[in-house]
Structure 1
Amino acid sequence: MPTKPVRVASVNVNGIRAAFRRGMGDWLAARDVDILALQEVRASTDDLTGLLGEEWDVLHDPATAKGRAGVALASRRPARIHRVALGPDEFDSAGRWLEADYDFDGSSITVVSTYVHSGEADTPKQVEKYRFLDAMEERLPRLAAHAEHAVVVGDLNVGHRTLDIRNWKGNRKKAGFLPEERAYFDRFVGSEEDADYNAGAGLGWVDVGRRHHGEVEGPYSWWSWRGKAFDNDSGWRIDYHLATGPLAASVVDYSVDRAAAYDERWSDHAPVVVDYAI
């Protein structure tokens, strides 16, 4: 058994170089993270490894378009194997899906860092988002078959339920809260009509954040830079840990590292940090 739980942190950094200029390094140094999943890296691998330092083993899948998207996994020990392919061969998922297997004292965990498209209702951007969610829905059962302890983390750009968005009424026709998008999450983890939708009534995956916090608003993980959204906690819960049932059962702590004040933020997203006692 590991001497301590495996701590997995996920955050959309909104550009890793800008995040470090604003103070991400101080957060990381104090947080004792074992596996760090990043989205919207928007930098080269050299930039990423230079900022994180030599103590981190870094896997990076940049986007096809330079300066866009980009996902990464950094860990205190090397990954045993990693994979980046998602969906059919002609589907460009570069910079949006990165899997890796890690060993911890005889136990193993598979971690996926993913960045789902933001989309835009009634445009080709939304079609591309649905293509990605289709590929994700196809991959999840195979991932669960591959590893008993697996977790998909990252900016999934969908608020599943009304509890996940403060102003849900004003966003019913906007990307991120469209019925068609939310239906994917019903299939991933089960729907509100299920007796226990957080137990994995759909494909068997568990929304760790909702299970841990229960029927409460939030806790949100993204707030617009504009206006008073952060100060008023008018946010969205769009950063997830979706875990297999056995891994979800091992959770001993879950937190959203919300900055103490607006001027202390180093991204428009807050890190989601979970301890897994595997």
Structure 2
Amino acid sequence: MSFTVVSFNVNGIRAARRRGFDRWLAERSPDIVAIQELRCRMPDLGDFPGYSVAADVGSLAGRNGVAVLTRLSPAAVRTWVTDPPRARGLGEFATHGRYIEVDLADRPVTIACLYLPKGGLPGDRQRPGAMRDAPDGGAKYARKQRFLTAFARELDRSRLAALRAGREFLLAGDLNIAHTQHDVTNWRAARTMDGFLPEDRAWFDSILGTRRLVDVVRQVYGERPGPLTWWSWAGQSFTKDVGWRVDHQLATPGLARRAIDVVVDKGLSPADRLSDHAPLVVTYRDPNQRRSG
């Protein structure tokens, strides 16, 4: 027995549905789907046949929003609105629709879905005319770093709470960070870019560990380039497979040991794209089943 968990930044659920999200969902038929960047109001989210929907669309119109689709209604749902984060520094993000957590009803697993804020460069590294966005003095960089510092503490609390309740814990989502050189096509150039800065990668190092969380994609896929999950809409990035892996599944060691397969549903052509991200699909042996042999 096995179950599949998908992490997918849809870059607007209404746009993704127009591009074929519902067809993909029916054909792939995953057990759990962690969705980021809904970018809609709750009435516009709609139904997903065969799934129960837990969502926090947030208070910022047209931005953010997270949801978890499950085959059965969850045993419990927690958002930062219903269960405010305890870590100091997360209060400013609590109503932004960036985090939701569900306890599965049919498996001893807690699924957390995160849309981590995109940052920018520190003020002293910003060069007018050499940036896509206008210089902001490092404001977005500082915001992201505040989030990272606080979220690391909150993540520890959530992980340990799940374990005390007899549950494994899985963090799935768009973390807006590529961890290693295998996660970026042009990694040397990316070292000066948001999402692959040394401080971003050091933070990622800090939340992993053999007794904490395991990058199940890297564990299964091995130490080699890929799999990528994001490609720019511009140019030939998608066709030439020049992109990043910023979408992740990080699991407590007991669940990580049960990861057996990783697939990115990239599609065959730009016309098949549902988003600028692609669904990251991980298959796990069911925690309710003992290892045979």
Same fold (TM over 0.5): yes
Match of 1:151 in 2: 170
Which 10-residue stretch deviates more, 117-126 or 218-227?
Answer: 117-126
Percent identity over the alignment is 40
Contact 1:49–1:58 (Cα < 8 Å) also in 2: no
Q: Deviations over 1:112-143 (max 9, x none)?
A: 11101111112211111112212221022222
Indicate which of 142, 147, 162 corresponds to 2:181.
Answer: 162
CA distance in 2, matches of 1:255, 1:90: 35
Indicate which of 48, 52, 56 corresponds to 1:57.
Answer: 52
CA distance in 2, matches of 1:37, 1:242: 13
The 5 A counterparts of 1:199-278 are: 200-201=209-210, 204-277=212-285, 278=287
The 5 A counterparts of 1:81-92 are: 81-85=76-80, 86=85, 87-88=87-88, 90-92=91-93
Q: TM-score, normalization: structure 2?
A: 0.85
Q: Deviations over 1:222-252 (max 9, x none)?
A: 0000001111111101100000000101112
1:157 shift after superposition: 0.5
CA distance in 2, matches of 1:48, 1:111: 20
Structure 2: stretches of 5+ with no match in the other structure: 123-137, 288-293
Q: TM-score, normalization: structure 1?
A: 0.89
Match of 1:115 in 2: 115
CA distance in 1, matches of 2:223, 2:92: 37
1:6 shift after superposition: 2.2
- For these two proteins, the number of residue pairs brought into alignment is 260
Residues 1:73 and 2:68 are matched in the alignment: yes
Match of 1:12 in 2: 9
Contact 1:222–1:235 (Cα < 8 Å) also in 2: yes
1:144 shift after superposition: 2.3
1:67 shift after superposition: 0.5
Provide the alpha-carbon RMSD of the alignment.
Answer: 1.4
Indicate which of 35, 38, 41 corresponds to 2:35.
Answer: 38
Match of 2:142 in 1: 127
CA distance in 1, matches of 2:190, 2:259: 32
4+ residue runs over 6 A deviation: none
Structure 1: stretches of 5+ with no match in the other structure: 190-199
Contact 1:98–1:113 (Cα < 8 Å) also in 2: yes
Match of 1:195 in 2: none
Q: One-letter code of the match for 1:90?
A: G
